[in-house]
Amino acid sequence: MGQTVFIPRELDANEPRVAASPDTVKRLAALGFDVVVETGAGTASRIPDEEFAKAGAAIGKAGDAAKADVVLKVRRPTDAELKGYKSGAAVIAIMDPYGNDAAVAALAKAGVTAFSMEFMPRITRAQSMDVLSSQANLAGYQAVVDAAAEYDRALPMMMTAAGTVPAAKAFIMGVGVAGLQAIATARRLGAVVTATDVRPAVKEQVQSLGAKFLAVEDEEFKAAETAGGYAKEMSKEYQTKQAALTAEHIAKQDIVITTALIPGRPAPKLVSAAMVASMKPGSVLVDLAVERGGNVEGAVPGKVVTTANGVKIVGHLNVPGRVAASASLLYARNLFAFLETLVDKATKTLAIKRDDELVKATMLTDAGKVVHPAFAKAAAEPPKGQHVEPAAIPAKTMVADASVKKAAPKKAAGKNAATGKSAAKPKGIA
């Protein structure tokens, strides 16, 4: 009898995605695994149990996790779920360990070998395993769709016998994976698109998508990227100039989408309340970082807020999950690509090579211990109910307060609008 892979139904009510697809079930079976999918696991992603069964999976119940050698999930397992896993099982998911030391310690206590997919290194070998990119790409697309729905006007310019409908103006803040897809989607829908980022290398990418790049392009800007592709901390003088330019620009926009999300850190504040107040009634802001504190002042997680001046601030949670059918297919392929590297092809059994660069980068816990260097402190369980955010640069307003008048900014501070690796492979959702 082969080793077993278990695919549970996600317990979080806000999580419609599933960690497998009929395609990956077939591939897992070809690797030598027996695959068990919990009843209803794929329903919210439009994958009925029958499709999994046709692909070769057995349809089981939550208790079947106790026999599994590998558990594939979307979100980190709860304490209740962990109690049903056997010690030594490999658990692969988006673990979201930052600020959740107690949860990381619980994984170690359960004796599972836990892998955090969001820590997958950005190297050529691991491109097919990059969950941040696959999910952020869909988040950027969905952000534009959500903005268009709330904007309740046409996005493209339309010339008719009755008159001309002007094109909507969209501004994308942060040109990473999500930002690039947002630019492309907004352009396809006919909007006039501008985008900003502190990395000069992304200017060409923005322009190649038919958008205009917005930045104070002085000598400091030209040297604003490290050899590794990261954004440098800009001087106060540059921040002030960029803030004034951005504030003036936002006041003229119909749609603003913010994408700056730095793993393990509070989301940097890009848009102040005064800037929101400078926008026209009916304008829309979509904050893709709302789950980590938000880029937009006034954004509320899980809500669409309408301000006193009639501007809508969209703060949907789990944006990739809003297109779950597509997100699940991509995520499942990411998981399979990684799991395949952990299998001995000759014996068709799990054989984790702990010196492998992918394993070292993603392994959180192993043999009852927290092994990831960034979370070793979680081995000593923190006081009950206390979840301490790891040391991070505080989120600050990155652009100055805006007013309806084109005034010089009162204040400028904080981090860059988007942080990531090289322009060719941006990091995270930024």
Beta strands in 265-355 (DSSP E): 284-287, 304-306, 312-314, 343-344, 349-350
Q: Is residue 98 annotated as a catalytic residue, yes or no?
A: no
- For 75, what's the count of Cα atoms within 13 Å in the CB-facing half-sphere? 17
Tokens 């004796």 sit on residue: 111
Nearest CA to 313 among 356, 361, 277? 277
Task: Name, in order, each residue with C-beta under 8 angstroms of 302's C-beta and a sequence gap of 6 or more.
Answer: 14, 315, 316, 317
**Which DSSP category does 266 fall into?**
P
Catalytic residue, chosen from 21, 116, 133, 181, is 133
Q: Is residue 135 annotated as a catalytic residue, yes or no?
A: no
Q: How far apart are CA 207 and CA 397, in angstroms?
A: 27
Backbone angles phi, psi at 370, to 5 degrees: -85, 120
Q: Is residue 12 annotated as a catalytic residue, yes or no?
A: no
Q: How far apart are CA 128 and CA 283, in angstroms?
A: 37
Question: 224 vs 63, 215, 220, 235, CA distance in Å?
Answer: 53, 12, 6, 10
Per-residue burial over 375-403, b if 16 or more Cβ lie within 10 Å, else e, is beebbeeeeeeeeeeeeeeebebbbbbbb
Q: Is residue 208 annotated as a catalytic residue, yes or no?
A: no
Cβ atoms of 99 and 388 within 8 Å: the answer is: yes
Q: How far apart are CA 288 and CA 315, in angstroms?
A: 7
Q: How far apart are CA 299 and CA 294, in angstroms?
A: 6
Catalytic residue, chosen from 46, 69, 230, 422, is 230
What one-letter code names the amino acid at 109? K
Both structure tokens of 179: 């930002």
Q: Is residue 130 annotated as a catalytic residue, yes or no?
A: yes
Cβ atoms of 417 and 196 within 8 Å: the answer is: yes
Catalytic residue, chosen from 34, 64, 101, 130, is 130
Question: 66 vs 81, 89, 210, CA distance in Å?
Answer: 10, 9, 52
Catalytic residue, chosen from 127, 128, 403, 422, is 127
Nearest CA to 320 among 136, 96, 146, 72? 136
The residues that are catalytic are 122, 127, 130, 133, 230
